[in-house]
Structure 1
């Protein structure tokens, strides 16, 4: 029993680290693109490349194999790339907190829909929680409650769907570090394509490059590897909803680091989303999943 409690709190601790890393991605991206310190394509390219390099060196240090053999991982790689490129363009016009709410609201819907299609049934409490959280998401999209552009909102929603697919692709993974490394490496051919498309339109600054490297090498590469490691302890629904805590952290990051206002609308939306989340996350269900994964 004590061991189960320890395992539970260890997973919660790793999850919190992951969610802070996810929020860091939003803050870094907004810092870099709000004032055009770097163009979106260059930011995405540097971010994904930095992530691949950091994960490569970690793999070399932690594995005893002389060579690392890659397997095809196009679902994870393509969804990771689409998430990253649309996020970069969206954060040119969408504030950090609002962007994170839209992003992870779309993630939630994507994973819940997948779970329902896959035969996962929701009980009354879960339906209530999902509807309350979704209400918070819809409230933020009300033109009278948000000043975000339709294009920015649309790009952020696409980014969220892509991240939802990326999350789903890792739910049954058994080698989280290797799987994350593989996904990053397979984005590099797509990076080459957008670099060719962006030829002559690049815009760089030391700050913009720094934010891209930090996002790719630290909050993305390491954060995603930890996320893939912890996901096996969550159901589809829980994996979706637990990520809705990210907008709260990202909002405070936006206030403190990007000098963005913490609006009443964002606060109301966040409270609705958090309220719905608490109805969906229970320790008892976690313990059932833990026993099933052994």
Structure 2
């Protein structure tokens, strides 16, 4: 039950990132680059303070590749959400995550049972069906940016399977991301735009929905196969779509509801298959 509650919190936090970012950008509270910087700064501050309180500064780990992946994920995420709706952006993001993590699992020769493979196909099929003709196609460049963001997050999650200090590694990644983003900011030509609401939304996204949630995700990932970890994240677009209804007035049609149920059914099949594999000793 504890693990289930942690998974639910993390997935909801991931969806909250889409909602908070979309609210900030749609309503003109911040430009995407400034939102990204404040989001990373919020995560770095929250995690650094956490280590100070617990007197564990020595546990902070510095992994430049992970920090670069984090920057790529956050920046492309914000740039894409200038034009994408909450649900569409989340679907593209976690569809790309699915491809990245399943592909890595295949390279590592993780076994896929028939029921697990069917569950993955069902979940991905639900997302594809939602984006096929009948809904407005997303603009190409923002869509590609969100796919790039998803691939960066997928790689970040895969690398997280090998770490031994989730909190310290996540803190180090956020802290290292700040000078990277500052260097990138020297290339921007547009003026900085942010108001009090934009600052609050970005810090909430960074400190709670990103920093804390990523630590918990790092703790959960080592106990999951790549297939299960990526498929679980396919529930995030469903949660984000619900948030879009509540906070942005994005009312879903019947197809959104049906596709959401299909995605959740696929997730349930993958989780069930993984439990059987674990009981049978096929995963370490």
TM-score (norm 1): 0.89
Partner of 2:5 in structure 1? 13
**2:122 corresponds to:** 132
2:44 paired with 1:52: yes
Partner of residue 246, structure 2:
256
Question: Alpha carbons of 1:146 and 1:275: their partners in 2 closer, same or farther (altered >3 Å)?
Answer: farther
Question: What is the Cα-based RMSD across aligned positions, in Å?
Answer: 2.1
Unaligned runs of 5+ in 1: 1-8
* CA-CA distance at 1:167 after TM superposition: 0.6
Partner in structure 1 of residue 79 of structure 2: 89
Per the TM alignment, residue 200 of structure 1 is displaced from its structure 2 partner at its CA by 4.9
Distance 1:265 1:190, change over 3 A: farther
Measure, in 2, the Cα distance between the counterparts of 1:166 and 1:46: 20
SS at match of 1:37: coil
What is the alpha-carbon distance in structure 2 between the residues aligned to residue 23 and residue 219 of structure 1? 8
- For 1:164 and 1:234, how far apart are their aligned partners in 2? 14
Tell me if the contact between 2:166 and 2:218 (Cα under 8 Å) persists in the aligned partners. Answer: yes
Say which of 166, 171, 181 aligns to 1:181: 171
Deviation at 1:186, TM superposition (A): 1.6
Distance 1:137 1:120 in 2: 23
CA distance in structure 1 between the partners assigned to 2:60 and 2:167 by the alignment:
13
2:36 equivalent to 1:61: no
SS in 2 for 1:218: helix
Q: Give the match for residue 284 of structure 1.
A: 275
The runs of at least 4 aligned residues of structure 1 exceeding 3 Å deviation read 67-72, 285-293
Worse-matched range after superposition: 111-120 or 67-76? 67-76
Residue 214 of structure 1: aligned partner = 204
SS of the residue 1:197 aligns to: coil
Q: Which moved more, 1:262-271 or 1:226-235?
A: 262-271
Contact 1:145 1:265 in 2 (8 A): no
Residue aligned with 1:186, SS: helix
Cα distance change on mapping 1:198 and 1:68 into 2, 3 Å:
farther
8 Å contact 1:96–1:250 — kept in the other structure? yes
Match of 2:17 in 1: 25
List per-residue Cα deviations over 1:220-273 (Å, max 9, x = no partner). Answer: 111111111111221111111111111111111111011212133332332222
Cross-structure match for 1:4: none
Match of 2:217 in 1: 227
Q: CA deviation at 1:81?
A: 0.8
Aligned length: 283
Please tell me whether the aligned partners of residues 22 and 246 of structure 1 are also in contact (alpha carbons under 8 angstroms).
yes
CA contact (8 A) 1:233 1:290 kept: no
CA contact (8 A) 1:43 1:88 kept: yes
Q: How many Å apart are 1:62 and its aligned residue?
A: 1.8
Gaps of 5+ in 2: none
The change in CA–CA distance for 1:61 and 1:290 in structure 2 (over 3 A counts) is: farther
Q: CA deviation at 1:118?
A: 1.1
